Every structure is written in C-alpha cells, then in structure tokens.
Amino acid sequence: MNKIDNLNYKKLEVSLNALKQMEKILSSEEEGCFVRLSVDSGGCSGFSYKFSIDKSYDKLNDVNLIKEKESLVFVTDAISLKFIENSIIDWKEDLSSAQFVIENPLAKAKCGCGTSFSI
C-alpha cells in the first residue's frame, strides 16, 4: 500500500488510494468542503466510523490531518482522533463494494461490515 507522507498527525496512515478518492469526492462538491471522519457511539459493536462532507471547521476542536494542501481535505475532531490513533485508512474496491476501510489496532472487536468496532 502506498501511503502519503504529508500528514499533520504522525500516528495515522492514509493511503494514496484513500487520498485520491477524497479528492475525487471533493471535486464534485462546492468550494471549501472537506472530508470529515468522526467516531460516533452506536453500531453493533459500540462505536462507528462516519465519513461525511463538511465545510464547518472548528479551529479549537478539529484537526486538519493533511498538510501542505491549499485547502482542507481530511479533518477529524480531537475526540475522534483518540479512537483512531495508529490506524491505517485506505480505499478498497471489489465486486460487491467500494468504501473507505480503517485498520484500527485499538479495536478489540468489529462487526462484519467493518463500520463499527469496540475498544
């Protein structure tokens, strides 16, 4: 897996495929939008990952994960960041799905679809 090196937060890896997909998604959105990753309570294992398009950036609580970009691309909040430390974020496509995949070493268990986990 090719990963990008220009992360502001070094305890996280983002693949080149994931970054390309984020940029592709953002190319069809209005100016100033970015991809947000949050961890919410819920799902079949206790917590769930949520990817969304956002344009509201809170300088006190949000973390811009990719530096050296002329605009925000990938953002998370400080609380969610604690749940995804040391994770690898990738984009995977197969015959049945295309989705962001998170390999999270903090997850003790995860559901079959891979979108929820427990710690």
Query: What is the domain partition of the chain in residue ranges?
Result: 12-118
What stretches in the chain show pLDDT beneath 50? none
Q: What is the pTM of this model?
A: 0.84
Contacts of 116 (CB under 8 A, 6+ apart): 42, 43, 44, 45, 46, 47, 48, 49, 110
CATH of domain 12-118: 2.60.300.12
3-class SS of residue 116: strand
pLDDT of 9: 64
Tell me what pLDDT residue 117 has: 82
At residue 11, the pLDDT reads 78
